Structure 1
């Protein structure tokens, strides 16, 4: 069974974090909410979430790592040296890495966007000098997946299901989402 870590830092965008968790679990894909530093994490709109576990410093047990955007959550993720190092190791070992909204700034710091196509929240591309920004809803380039923002969270989540071998189309149809 595939296993996903969704990493939560204080100030995360709630829709961008919880939508993938919900959709992945509906697809019977094991998904842990991983607090970057604590079990209780507060989103950018004041919603407190109880994570399943706290970041241990590595992702060896996971097939995919998902980084929600939001401010200042994305900055907290980007500035966490241990997370950046763990993402580099995960990418080098062939794991999927996904980021939405402002979170591609974390991928930039980790050096994971060089020579890759990506998308992000409009305007954030100014902070991402490597890679090729495209204004698409979801972009998959090798094992890096990016998406634009809160409004693209469902499309992002269905793409995560697809790349992990699930059936995002059937799930989207069952959830009355026109893909």
Structure 2
């Protein structure tokens, strides 16, 4: 069975993190929230209890590691040596590495953006020196997947499902994704 680890650090963006975990689990993909500690408080004061704690690195066979954003969360991930070692181990094992919003700063510290296309939060092309910044909602370059920010978490989650061989269309259907965006002005049409 495919397994995904979503790394959770203090200051994480709750909307991104929980959306990604929710979509992956709805797609029947085993997904663990792996925290820098057992309980982690996000950037908007929501505390979550993680499924596992990162110690010393991911010690299970995960096919993908995901880094959600939130500026403080990304800074805390970037500053944690366990995270950097984990990312390098995942790259050496030819596994998927995904990050969104501010989290590509972690990828840069781990030297994973060299000669790679990526996206990140607005103006992060000015904060990240390596790689090739794109303004697309989701950017896939080999086994590196990145996305923009909180509003792109659904597109990112669905892309991750498809990349891992799941069926995002059925998840989108169950989540009423297809009808939710038929809008004209402020009026929503069913």
TM-score interval w.r.t. the shorter chain?
A: over 0.9
Partner deviation per Cα, 1:82-108 (whole Å, 9 max, x = no partner): 210110111111110000100000001
Measure the CA separation in 2 of the matches of 1:165 and 1:58: 25
Measure the CA separation in 2 of the matches of 1:33 and 1:145: 18
Please name the residue that 1:53 is paired with.
52
Measure the CA separation in 1 of the matches of 2:124 and 2:68: 14
Partner deviation per Cα, 1:116-173 (whole Å, 9 max, x = no partner): 1100000122121111000000001000000000000000000110011001122112
Aligned-pair CA distance for 1:176: 1.6
Aligned-pair CA distance for 1:57: 2.5
Name the TM-score, length of structure 1 as normaliser. Answer: 0.96
Please name the residue that 1:97 is paired with.
97
Measure the CA separation in 2 of the matches of 1:15 and 1:43: 10
1:23 aligns with 2:23: yes
1:10 aligns with 2:13: no
Measure the CA separation in 1 of the matches of 2:141 and 2:65: 15
Name the TM-score, length of structure 2 as normaliser. Answer: 0.91
Between structure 1 and structure 2, the one with the greater Rg is 2
Match of 1:72, SS state, is helix
Measure the CA separation in 1 of the matches of 2:61 and 2:53: 14
Please name the residue that 1:140 is paired with.
140
Structure 1's consecutive aligned runs of 4 or more residues displaced over 4 angstroms after TM superposition are: none
